[in-house]
């Protein structure tokens, strides 16, 4: 399972690097990862302090890389 989460995290990191800040839904749609894999990988990236998660418009989360 750890390998799968790590691979998903890498895929998400690359997507954010190429496309900039975006929503969790768009990450799932554009990468082809299911929502559970996206959430696990975002937790991994957050724990490693690779991403920032900001609340936009009071309800939409925007995910971006920390530079």
- Indicate which CATH number applies to the domain containing 32: 1.10.10.10
Structural domain for 32, as ranges: 1-65
What's CA 9's distance to the chain center, in Å?
7
Express each pLDDT in 22-67 by its tens digit: 999 999 999 999 999 999 999 999 999 999 999 988 888 999 999 8
The SS3 call for residue 32 is: coil
Given a cut of 90, is residue 9 above it in pLDDT? yes
Structure tokens at 30: 């554009």
What is the model's pTM? 0.91
In this predicted structure, what is the pLDDT of residue 3? 87
Please state the domain count of the chain.
1
């Amino acid at each position: 399972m750890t390998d799968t989460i790590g691979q998903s995290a890498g895929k998400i990191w690359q997507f954010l690097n190429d496309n900039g800040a975006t929503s969790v839904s768009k990450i799932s749609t554009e990468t082809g990862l299911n929502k559970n894999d996206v959430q696990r990988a975002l937790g991994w990236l957050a724990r490693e302090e690779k991403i920032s998660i900001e609340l936009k418009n009071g309800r939409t989360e925007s995910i971006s890389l920390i530079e």
